[in-house]
Amino acid sequence: MYGMIATWRMALEGVEAASELLKADADAGDALEKAIACVEDCEFYKSVGYGGLPNEEMEVELDAAFMDGNTLDIGCVGAVKDFANPIRIARQLSKEEVNNFLVGRGAEKYAQRHGFERKNMLTERAKIHYQNRVKELSQQQLKPYTGHDTVGMVCLDANAHMCAATSTSGLFMKRSGRLGDSPVIGSGLYVDSQVGGASATGLGEDVMKGCISYEIVRLMKEGKTPQEACDWAVRSFDAELRKRRGQAGDMSLIAMNNQGEWGVATNIDTFSFVVATAQQPATVYLAKRDAQGKTTYEKASKEWIEEYVQTRKAPAKLKE
């Protein structure tokens, strides 16, 4: 038995590649690193890796994290510039005894020392989106980029080893040095091979208020299925934020337990995610919240998937 669940349609090609590895008995950590790096390398995904949207100073600052569910090893990087694959740096950091979470210049020095590939991650497309956004921004609040945000994944391999990982360029137009939930263990991701794992995407500032990935794993440990745990955690925390603060940011969670069962919950209109298991090739689903706040999902149609790809690859144009 093996399985993988990932946030957003952008994870599809990575999950497909990882599934092939898992089928051939690969380790969960290797499969996961491959899948996340595949998303980081795609210039058309605006919220992760190469082509990720920049901060307010037009610099691409990337965050990533890796957690091993057997040893509970963690490795995290924040606000890293000019490295091709933050996930590889995060995974390398997870092998260190201490100094597992590095940010900014410290993370870059570490990456340089370990010979990770340097790359200017700011693409011409991202610059155009930046310039358009500068024109629009005066009237708008910062929020996760629609239909994108963090790629987060949970993976179970045939030897019952589980890992989780995330990667993101964070909020478009964020302040320099801003970190969201994605590199923060317990908020953006958590995994324990004895139970299962979870990962989040959405507005980091709100996701972090609930340590919601850890909460989902805790609920699974208490006996809830991944679907029950996701539903419970997202609904109750969304309600809590609305009660105390009058609003709740976008929040979508995925989870898988160590039996390969999975679940998802969201507080937004359309959240796409990808699942692959030994019984099922990588499949894109669309989740939404119904009137009662319960998450429902269905397989994405071929038309939806094609339109998604076309929209992402459409030429970027400067607005008048």
Residue selected from 51, 86, 180, 263 as contacting ligand GLY according to rule CB under 6 A: 180
Based on the shown chain and the rule CB under 6 A, indicate whether residue 267 belongs to the binding site for ligand GLY. no
- Closest contact distance (angstroms) between CB of 320 and ligand GLY is 30
Residue selected from 100, 182, 257, 266 as contacting ligand GLY according to rule CB under 6 A: 182
Handedness of CA 296, 301, 305, 307 (dihedral sign): negative
Based on the shown chain and the rule CB under 6 A, indicate whether residue 150 belongs to the binding site for ligand GLY. yes
CA 234, CA 217: separation in Å to the nearest integer?
13
In terms of CB distance, is 22 or 173 closer to ligand GLY? 173
How many residues of this chain interact with ligand GLY, rule: CB under 6 A? 12
CA 151, CA 37: separation in Å to the nearest integer?
10
Residue selected from 7, 19, 168, 252 as contacting ligand GLY according to rule CB under 6 A: 168
Based on the shown chain and the rule CB under 6 A, indicate whether residue 149 belongs to the binding site for ligand GLY. yes
Minimal CB distance residue for ligand GLY: 180
* 155: enclosing H helix or E strand: strand 151-156
Q: Is 256 exposed, middle or buried (0-12, 13-18, 19+ CB in 10 A)?
A: buried
Interface map 186-225 toward ligand GLY (x if CB under 6 A)? ---------------xxxx---------------------
Catalytic residue among 7, 123, 150, 201: 150
Strand, coil or helix: 182:
coil
Based on the shown chain and the rule CB under 6 A, indicate whether residue 3 belongs to the binding site for ligand GLY. no
- Closest contact distance (angstroms) between CB of 281 and ligand GLY is 28
Residue selected from 35, 153, 156, 171 as contacting ligand GLY according to rule CB under 6 A: 171
Handedness of CA 18, 19, 24, 28 (dihedral sign): positive
- Closest contact distance (angstroms) between CB of 152 and ligand GLY is 9
In terms of CB distance, is 182 or 193 closer to ligand GLY? 182
Q: Are strands 162-168 and 251-257 parallel, antiparallel or unpaired?
A: unpaired
What CA–CA distances, in Å, run from 315 to 125, 276, 312, 320?
A: 8, 31, 8, 15
| Cα dihedral 57→124→11→70 (10° resolution) | -50
- Closest contact distance (angstroms) between CB of 271 and ligand GLY is 13
CA 156, CA 85: separation in Å to the nearest integer?
22
150 catalytic, yes or no? yes
CA 222, CA 182: separation in Å to the nearest integer?
25
Active site residues: 150
Q: Which residues bind ligand GLY (CB under 6 A)?
A: 149-150, 168, 170-171, 180-182, 201-204
